[in-house]
Every structure is written in structure tokens, then in C-alpha cells.
Amino acid sequence: NAGVTQTPKFRVLKTGQSMTLLCAQDMNHEYMYWYRQDPGMGLRLIHYSVGEGTTAKGEVPDGYNVSRLKKQNFLLGLESAAPSQTSVYFCASTSGGGEKLFFGSGTQLSVL
């Protein structure tokens, strides 16, 4: 039972570098989300998707892009990393709007 898998678990970037975080779920969920979690700020929604080929902006989308080419995968991209993007990133998925979220184990990203 893999559930929601995020890769990588840790990453250190220099300012201006780019990277992609991968989220994969094997539960056939329609909805997928990317959150970031910072001390004292709670979980904040970056982007989300309600189905294959669709994406939408959340609360804090600036500096990030996403793609949902396949139902099971949701990619989060940083084109030009900034120190303000140092955070823990969580991917989550669910079968519907009123159903519980299943979270990945998180990615600790540091931008120097």
C-alpha cells in the first residue's frame, strides 16, 4: 500500500536554480493538492487539481507551476528558486471534495 509518494524527501537549492517535486498516488483519486508548511503559518495551499489535465491556483501560487498530465501524478515546479521558498512541501490526494485527504511524507526544501 504505497498511498501517496513524494520525491525527493530532502533537497538543497541555490537561489535561481529550478527543480520539480513529484507526487504519485495509487488510489485512483481525482483530486490532488500541493501545500507548503512554514512555522506559525500552518499548511497553505499552493495549487490543486480536480482531475487529469486540470490545475488551479490556491492561496500562494506565485513562483510555482504544476502539471497533471496523468491522473496518478501531480508535479510541482520551481522555475527560479528563492530563499522565501524554503519550506516543507506536502502533497495530498482525495477522492472527492468532502473526503479526507491522504498526505505524502513531505519534502524538506532549503533554498540558499
Q: Which residues bind another protein (CB under 8 A)?
A: 31, 33, 35, 40-45, 48, 50, 56, 58-59, 90, 97-98, 100-106
Using the minimum distance from each CB to another protein, give the nearer residue, 4 or 78.
4
Using the minimum distance from each CB to another protein, give the nearer residue, 22 or 50.
50
Using the minimum distance from each CB to another protein, give the nearer residue, 35 or 64.
35
Eight-class DSSP state of 58: -
Least Cβ distance, residue 15 to another protein (angstroms): 26
Least Cβ distance, residue 29 to another protein (angstroms): 13
φ/ψ of residue 108, rounded to 5? -90, 115
Using the minimum distance from each CB to another protein, give the nearer residue, 17 or 86.
86
Least Cβ distance, residue 73 to another protein (angstroms): 18
